[in-house]
A and B are shown apart, each in its own frame.
Chain A
Amino acid sequence: MSLAIPRDRPAGGSLPEPPAGAAGSRRLNQVRAFVRRHRLAPYLMLAPALAGIGLVLLWPLAQVAVYSFQNYGLPQITGAAPTQWIGGSNFTQVFADAEFWLSLRITVLFAAVVVPLTLIAGTLVGLLLNQLGRKMAAVVSTAALLAWAIPPVSATVLFYWLFDPDGGLVDWTLSRLPHWLVGNTNWAGFNWTTTGALQAYTVLTVLVVWQSFPFIAVTVLAGLKTVPHELYEAARVDGASPVRIFSSITFPLLKPIFLVLLLLSVIWDFNVFTQSFIITGFPGNRDEFNLSLYIYDKGFQFPPSYGLGGALALIFTVILLIVTVGYVRSSVRQGALT
């Protein structure tokens, strides 16, 4: 692509000849000439970004990969024992560990429940926003904006309080519901966070869906605004039901948006760390670890095993990268690189 551009001129014309009257020092002019001759300007402008991304994202990733094949731990850091390459033994150890499989199962099941719930709730609210009058739409979208804006730590602590066994509103309400509606006095003082993984992840499901549906709703709404009105009017004249209109018009037209939202939701819900850290009361309740908590446990609970942590982190990254490839492909197909 660079062949199309004449050699004596930088591509966009952003870096023109310094005017003859500008009395820069000769050295400076030499540097400028060098930059221009070798067309270094874009690389120089990229350098700080590349340095930052390299230092904080790529280099640590490479190191994690290295650790995963070593016996790296505290003795190796203090120099008490040598660092050794130990082949794939960290991985065999991970795969033989029941805790790994439990945490993987929890991670996958949680995403399998939360992703569809979030997408459905968000899409429904997006469709609703599109139908409402101006005032009502403003009320609903402001409410959604507030839930979206709340920092994860605030939201998590708040939901912990709502589900607290001592004075939490959820247990109080459940214990007073009529019998036919699951109400019974056993709910009083029910501990959602330590009873088991199912209970803790029920709280997390409610919390994460509540926090994530606004983004889906707003994105779907933005997509809906691009659908021409005439299509809907024609369908309505033909007497199509709302479900039919959605499945024959809205969904096919917004399919690219839904695909990106699906992939992003999978990645995000695989990644839930802050919320699960607080709700499961890390580092207690090991049977409530998801993959993120399990990695963190291996890296930072005494005695740390950076080798095992690295192996886990690598497995986790590979799983997410597989999903990311889907995201990148659909972005590129939509012309993201132009």
Chain B
Amino acid sequence: MSSATRSRRLRAMSLNAAAVVVAVVTLFPIAWMIATAFKPSQEIYSLTPSLLPAHPTLGNFRAVIGGQASGIGTVWLFFRNSLAVTLATVLVASLISLLASVAVARFRFRFRASFLIMLLIVQMIPGQALIIALFLDFSRINLVQSLPGLILVYAAQALPVSIWMLRNFVATVPRELEEAAATDGASAPTIFWKILFPLVAPGLVATSIFSFITAYNEFIVALTFLGQQHSDYTLPIYVTYFFNRGGAQWGPIMAASTMYTIPVVIFFLIVRRRLVGGLVAGAVKG
């Protein structure tokens, strides 16, 4: 074996070793969450903890589904709330931002540049700076303690980044297609739905990722708006309530967090190829 091959092998081996360390460190907390969810309580508080449950049990999940562990109802109720809020947010935000992105990508008009800069700036306004005024406003119009109020806030919060991302996709659709359709006598709505929309659809998927994450993970607005209205809790508020209730219920709490996490992990794995390009442009974090 030549020394060049040997050094190349050594390099590959040390890189792979580093990769294994990174992967283990990254995955360990997640593995611990799932493991705890499947452990009976004497194993959770064991003096010699081990990663794999010796006697795996579904008891924690049963307690979460039955509702007795949290005291405010079955986990499915909060799944339903979160899903309703998330889907409605994605739908509303996609529709509104599609219209706006076509406007900024296809038209030159006064205030176009100001509008774009405004988008960049407002996406940075922190939620905790607005929450006092938002809460007072939405209380006045009776939209707190309800899911529609949350949907309205989330959809609007998702707009700046969504428009910013979508307009790049609209800009890549060749204008000639629309012009050709126009000369053939197609009406504006026809051009929009039959030509532009199918071509921008992949961009809409990328945008939906962002509004999905915004709505599914959002904490401060839901916490403030929903207050003691337990039956309207979204999943993150439910998990927080459960956690604050105390009483050393780590098994059921980890079971609830695991269930809350699964849909978004599946979603990430499905859209992973679109994540990089789209999110880098949009700058997203929970």
Contacts and interface: CB of A to CB of B under 8 A. Distances in A.
Interface of A: 1-2, 4-5, 10-16, 18-19, 21-22, 39, 41-43, 45-46, 48-49, 52-53, 55-61, 63-64, 67, 77, 125, 128, 131-133, 136-137, 139-140, 142-155, 157-162, 164, 166-167, 169, 172, 210-212, 214-215, 218-219, 221-222, 260, 264, 267-268, 270-271, 273-274, 277-278, 292, 295-296, 299-300, 306, 309-310, 313-314, 316-317, 320-321, 323-324, 327-328, 331-332, 336-337
Given A1-B108, A48-B100, A152-B219, A59 B137 contact: yes
Given A56-B130, A167-B250, 12 more contacts: A1-B112, A14-B106, A41-B107, A53-B118, A61-B133, A63-B137, A144-B26, A158-B33, A221-B276, A264-B283, A324-B124, A328-B120
A59 B191 CA distance: 35
A14 B191 contact: yes
Contact of A154 (B126, B152, B239): B239
Interface stretch (B52-60, B198-206, B256-264): B256-264
B208 interface: no
A57 B110 contact: no
Nearest to B82: A151
22 contacts: A12-B178, A19-B185, A46-B99, A46-B115, A52-B152, A56-B152, A137-B19, A145-B272, A151-B286, A152-B217, A153-B219, A159-B29, A214-B26, A215-B279, A268-B285, A271-B126, A274-B286, A295-B132, A310-B132, A313-B132, A331-B120, A337-B113
Most buried by B among A158, A264, A268: A158
B10 interface: no
B108 A5 contact: yes
Nearest to A325: B121
A300 B134 CA distance: 12
A128 B103 CA distance: 41
Contact of B132 (A264, A306, A317): A306
Contacts of B182: 13-14, 16
Contacts of B18: 128
A324 B264 CA distance: 29
A160 B248 CA distance: 12
A154 B285 contact: no
A39 B219 contact: no
Interface in B103-156: 103-104, 106-110, 112-113, 115-122, 124-137, 152-153, 155-156
Contacts of B115: 46
B91 interface: no
Contacts of A336: 116, 120
A165 B188 CA distance: 64
B1 interface: no
B240 interface: yes
Given A22-B187, A157-B253, A295-B128, A150 B261 contact: yes
Contacts of B217: 151-153
Most buried by A among B119, B156, B179: B156
Nearest to A125: B22
B156 A57 contact: yes
B45 interface: yes
Contacts of A158: 29-30, 32-33, 254, 257
Interface in B23-52: 23, 26-27, 29-30, 32-33, 36, 44-46, 49
B115 to A, nearest CB: 7
A133 B12 contact: yes
5 closest pairs, A vs B, by CB?
A: A56-B156, A60-B133, A12-B106, A16-B182, A42-B107
A13 B173 CA distance: 13
A14 B102 contact: yes
Contact of A328 (B121, B125, B236, B239): B121
Given A53-B156, A148-B268, A14 B137 contact: no
Contacts of B183: 16
B116 A337 contact: yes
A37 to B, nearest CB: 14
Given A2-B110, A13-B179, A52-B156, A149 B243 contact: no
A84 B191 CA distance: 55
B106 A136 contact: no
A266 B138 CA distance: 30
A7 B214 CA distance: 41
A244 B250 CA distance: 48
Most buried by A among B26, B100, B254: B26
Contacts of A57: 122, 125, 130, 156-157, 160
B127 A273 contact: yes
B124 A160 contact: no
Given A11-B106, A158-B32, A218-B276, A153 B240 contact: yes
A59 B128 CA distance: 15
B121 to A, nearest CB: 6
A260 B285 CA distance: 14
Contact of B265 (A42, A53, A146, A271): A146
A41 B109 CA distance: 10
Contact of A13 (B23, B45, B178, B261): B178
Contact of B125 (A39, A61, A67, A219): A61
Given A148-B268, A154-B260, A162-B32, A45 B113 contact: no
A167 B137 contact: no
Contacts of B220: 273-274, 277, 296
Contacts of B284: 215
Nearest to B96: A48
Contact of A327 (B120, B267, B275): B120
Contact of A61 (B33, B44, B130, B235): B130
